[in-house]
Structure 1
């Protein structure tokens, strides 16, 4: 029998170690999407996240919108905001100009990613002839420009282009040694994958935080399609839970909430104290997870 007295997920917020939480958004493409974006931001801001991040389209296609959203979030809510940045299809000078633009706008947090080629996730990456060669190179470049808080990506199931686990962990180590403050994982649905990844990293001497990226399943069809392209496994038990719910939105939402709650409570019980939630610009599931983690709105 599990003893609830020793489970962090059964402790009250004042009993367990302080938790850090952050949220990820993407730049809205039209007025209707922007309205939903701001509605979600304003509902999540009172939870006082460590930061919220805004993604950056392939090849910088959303650069201006990313900068506008990040600047506005910080100004309108007081919440620290992080801008994503990639080095796909751009020279060092072009990327450095974006970094200096963030700096001039008062943005001191960056999520530094190599990024995916225009052909899509999983396709071979060819650096720009005058560009940064990879994410580790990009981190070092950002660090030369200023004193930014830098997050990088981690892959609990190994990046599709990594030849081995040794290569994967070495790449993570180079990014952190180059000046990154933490790693945030790509979505995963088996906590065992994350915990084994953590063990590998610690065994390699990596001490920086490796924050689990939690993906609430707003649409199983969409998430499973994206997972297939980026190398994330969909466990059979998970697919079974959502089977037949494409036309049952209310039941789908309830199952999604239960799945996400189960994932974060298991991680809490394993001693995890930092979480990054992918919102898809929607607040309900993110709000529910924050409550399960013990976070309440602050006036």
Structure 2
């Protein structure tokens, strides 16, 4: 490709990035504007006379604090549970040969094709019979079930990508099979576990429809449900508070990604062939 073609592709990539990031910028910018500026016909692209009052009102709202606590608890439990179960399942289908292995892999693919809405009635009835409706445990269970299929498939590829010969070499040097796995293979799977954790975190933190079905008690809403509750179809919506709330909801996702990004970008088998 010549120089002109590379420049054209670079400009196109910049334009696409700007178009993709503009809604995020508009959300953050609007969070600093008072309602009288948000409701004017002339848009304000730069909040030169911004205010923090919208953020203060959100943080002073006790329902926001309660919803944040529910979302954080459910998300952490869902991520830990899904990674634990998915890792064991991925290890089984990648390292062992057993009857029903191919059928299990096929079931994982089929489950991913089922629309989530088609399971709502069965999931609600199941949780209701267990008396887990409007509970953190009940929502965590359905979140883990929703995250597991893709997470298993993702981790299966990471586990299969680590040569089993590395473990066999460790066993030749005197390690047990378990010791070889945890001392040689497991550290090499860290990028895959982090990637699965990021996927699970995004899914659980931003999920709306399952929470809408399971958490029917207004006092036990997750953050997406809390944010939707600010939009009142019968009265004027305080869009400044809505934008400030949406911005605060996005902050934990950004912080989580910044913490784990180095692990995500590291090589899967970095150092496996050194020395």
Normalised by the length of structure 1, the TM-score is 0.24
Structure index of larger Rg:
2
Q: Pick the structure with more strand per residue.
A: 1
Q: Pick the structure with more helix per residue.
A: 2
Normalised by the length of structure 2, the TM-score is 0.25
